[in-house]
Amino acid sequence: LVNITIDGQQVKVPKDATVLEAARGIGVEIPTLCYHPEHRPEGSCRICLVEVVGARGLVASCVFPVSEGMVVKTNTPDVREARKAVVELLLANHPQDCLSCQRNLHCELQKIAADCGIREIRFEGEKKDYPLDADNPALVRDQNKCVLCGRCIRACSGLQGVNVYTFANRGFNTTVTPAFNAGLHEATCTFCGQCANICPTAAIVEKDDTKEVWEALHNPAKYVVVQTAPAVRVALGENLGFRSGDIVTGQMVAALKRLGFDKVFDTAFSADVTIMEEGSEFIERLTHDGTLPMITSCSPGWVNFVELMYPDLLKHLSTTKSPQQIFGVLVKTYYAEKAKIDPQDIVSVSIMPCTAKKVESGRQEMSASGYQDVDYVLTTRELARMIKEAGISFSNLKTEEFDAPLGISTGAAVIFGATGGVMEAALRTVSEVLTGKTLECIEFHAVRGLEGIKEAEVTIGEKTIKVAVAYTLANARIILDKIRKGETDYHFIEIMACPGGCIGGGGQPISTSPEIRTQRMAAIYECDEAAAIRKSHENPAVKELYDTWLGKPLGEKSHHLLHTHYQA
Ligand code: HC1
């Protein structure tokens, strides 16, 4: 530790801390745009300027290291004036269309301008005039709103190891762009959306599909059903007056009914179906010399990553479709038949924590029902906006239940939303199916938690199954490289593209942090503990689906409707 003085307060701080970290540690808020606690600091935005006695000029506190005896002043006239000037320069060439901007009231630049007390912009800047990059179904990039903080670059490279973005050009013409100024659809983008989640402004946002969904809801000829992903129920409240980690499942269902959806169903139902298929697929591969390790395939950012970067390993991916897509195909076949509705009148909407799910739903092969299986995918943030637009007082809603039968699910399905959850759900079912015995303890704690890569050995009957669980694509790369070199002996691997799994998805409320992800994850396991049924194979609605319509897992109908292939 070293002793320093910040604004007259003497403090002891770790000797490798930066001035910004030391200040935040004692509650002194220094504004910044480029700094993000989960990524290495760059000191590029220059908003976090402070005075360090003895240093030449003002310094960027996010990259300035503390030292013994240092005296820091964060609130002098010079500091405030310098910060104001930096922010005004940013605003001078910013579009300033705040009132109609997707990030209005959630924009870090807007907040900093307000916090710095900016009432006029003294500089008349030249405006940028870049075209929108909107040629993909998931993300929209507006470089005119980019403040060149570089956070998207660091998220894409550091967190995901994908490296889509880079700085290009110099001076006023500096941009953040994929190589050769390509659109995202031409780059090696997995559409995980972590760039949108970390962007301080609206330079990268999810493609907004709410207009199409409103139109469907207002079309009396359409029967509009909605499914909600496991991770949405523990995060949606953050945009609607609840604390992070508050479980708002019942309010969410009530709000969706108020919005006019004809049926409100649960992706967790089809997550249970996924376990029936994927669990059976794993048992088949394990007992009949199939390709191992088998790797989960429900996270579409992850699937895009393997297709783009490791096509030689595609045979390791489970062929079982993701719960979103299994739900989509079942709604337009099984449910349509049961409810006697013409599938062409059904509009199937899903609410996902994920931007890549928008791409997944549009894949050519995701139309086994004879129609596009899922018509529109909205992120958690888009649903929150619709609820606000409809004037629904979310926190005052009485909780309501999902509709049957596609709203009936288990605790095993809900934990899909957290890293390790798909593995745990599969192990609960695979163990009981393989041994024919009831598990004494259904909780597999070795695969839980926010460690980036987890490994465990699980004894099932006479067999020892080696499993691994990883999240983020940078961690996935570590595992895939080992598989390529033949250095692993895993049987089963779960990989999710986003930090902490879907709870940290690119479509979740902004901003997220390790603390927020921890709270969301705890809420997911709370849902599991509170569930009446906690194993997928015990879901009565799933049993009925197989008994009356689908036949057996991996059967002919399942093969046609619930399994897919990947593209090298
Ligand atoms: Fe997920 Fe999944 S868990 S991928 O993270 O398998 O998005 O929540 O819906 O499909 O169930 C996301 C979450 C989600 C699917 C399920």
Instruction: Locate all alpha helices (DSSP H) within 151-266, ordered by sequence.
Output: 151-154, 194-198, 210-217, 249-259
Look up residue 376 and give its two tokens: 């529109």
Residues 6+ apart with CB under 8 A from 173: none
Among 254, 246, 319, CA closest to 281? 319
Strand residues in 343-394 grouped as ranges (E)? 346-352, 376-379
Tell me the two tokens of residue 505: 């998805």
Query: SS3 for 395?
Result: helix
- pLDDT tens column, 378-398: 999 999 999 999 999 999 999
Q: What is the pLDDT of residue 461?
A: 87
- What is the tens place of the pLDDT at every residue in 336-368? 999 999 999 999 999 999 999 999 999 999 999
Which of the residues are catalytic? 278, 281, 298, 318, 357, 360, 365, 502
Atom of ligand 1 nearest to the CA of 360: 10
Average pLDDT, the chain: 97
- Collapsing DSSP to helix, strand or coil, 71 comes out as strand
| DSSP character string of 415-456 | GGGSTTHHHHHHHHHHHHHHH-S--S----GGG-SS-SEEEE
Within 101-219, strands assigned E span 139-141, 165-168, 175-178, 204-206
Token pair for 526: 């709370």
Question: Band of the pLDDT at 2, cuts 50, 70, 90?
Answer: very high
pLDDT at 158: 95
Nearest CA to ligand 1 atom 9: 229
- Which of helix, strand or coil describes residue 82? helix
Q: Which atom of ligand 1 is nearest to the CA of 350?
A: 9
Which residues on neighbouring strands pair with residue 167, listed in sequence order? 176
**206 CA → ligand 1 middle, Å:** 17
Confidence band (pLDDT; 50, 70, 90) for 509?
very high
Nearest by Cα to 202 from 254, 132, 272:
132
Q: Are 454 and 444 in contact (CB under 8 A)?
A: no
Residue 161: other Cβ atoms inside 10 A: 16
- Closest Cα to atom 16 of ligand 1: 323
Ligand 1: centre distance to CA 352 (Å): 7
Q: How far is the CA of 8 from the centre of ligand 1 (A)?
A: 50
Q: How far apart are CA 223 and CA 217, in angstroms?
A: 8
Split at pLDDT 50, 70, 90, the class of 124 is confident
User: Which of 502, 508, 536, when mutated, tests ligand 1's pocket best, judged by the most ligand atoms within 8 Å of its CB?
Assistant: 502
Segments in 49-107 forming alpha helices (H): 77-92
* Number of C-beta neighbours around residue 186 at 10 A: 14
Range list of β-strands (E), 55-207: 59-60, 71-73, 139-141, 165-168, 175-178, 204-206
**How far is Cα 193 from Cα 210, in angstroms, rounded to an integer?**
18
Name the residue of 352, 374, 525 to mutate for ligand 1: max ligand atoms within 8 A of Cβ.
Answer: 352
Q: 433: which 2 tokens?
A: 């199916």
Whether 298 contacts 413, CB under 8 Å: no
Helix (H, G, I), strand (E, B) or coil at 67: coil
* pLDDT, tens digit (0-9, with 9 covering 90-100), for 433-460: 999 999 999 999 999 999 999 999 999 9
Domains contained in the chain, CATH given: 2-89 (3.10.20.740), 128-207 (3.30.70.20), 221-562 (3.40.950.10)
pLDDT value of position 568: 84
Alpha-carbon span 46 to 491, nearest angstrom: 49
* Nearest ligand 1 atom to alpha carbon 416: 3
- Separation of alpha carbons 106 and 403, rounded Å: 33
Angle CA(535)–CA(539)–CA(543) in degrees, nearest 5?
A: 125
Q: With beta carbons less than 8 A apart as the criterion, state whether 206 and 382 touch.
A: yes
Q: Of 36, 41, 76, 75, which is closest to residue 60 (Cα–Cα)?
A: 41
| Residue 214 clears pLDDT 90, i.e. is over it | yes
Nearest to 106 by CA among 496, 401, 455, 384: 384
Distance separating the N- and C-terminal Cα atoms of the chain: 52
What is the residue-wise DSSP string for 268-308?
A: HHHHHHHHHHHHHHHHHHHHTT--SSEE----HHHHHHHHH
Is the distance from CB of 342 to CB of 336 less than 8 angstroms? yes
CB 147 within 8 A of CB 107: no
Query: Ligand 1: residues whose CB is within 6 Å?
Result: 229-231, 267-268, 271, 298-299, 322-324, 352-354, 357, 416-417, 496, 501-502, 505
Nearest to 375 by CA among 400, 347, 336, 342: 347
The closest residue, in CA terms, to atom 6 on ligand 1 is 298
Cα(429)–Cα(424) distance, integer angstroms: 9
Residue with tokens 């009957």, as numbered in its chain: 461
| CA 72 – CA 562 distance, rounded (Å) | 61
Triad 472, 476, 481: Cα angle to 5°: 155
400 band by pLDDT with thresholds 50, 70 and 90 = very high
Residue 511 reports pLDDT greater than 90: no
Instruction: Summarize pLDDT for 140-166 with one digit per residue, the tens.
Output: 999 999 999 999 999 999 999 999 999
| Both structure tokens of 449 | 């938690």
Question: What separation in Å is there between the alpha carbon of 324 and the centre of ligand 1?
Answer: 7
CB 510 within 8 A of CB 382: no
Closest of 324, 321, 330 to residue 354, by C-alpha: 324
- Is 245 in a helix, a strand, or coil? coil
Q: 255-291, pLDDT tens digit by residue?
A: 999 999 999 999 999 999 999 999 999 999 999 999 9
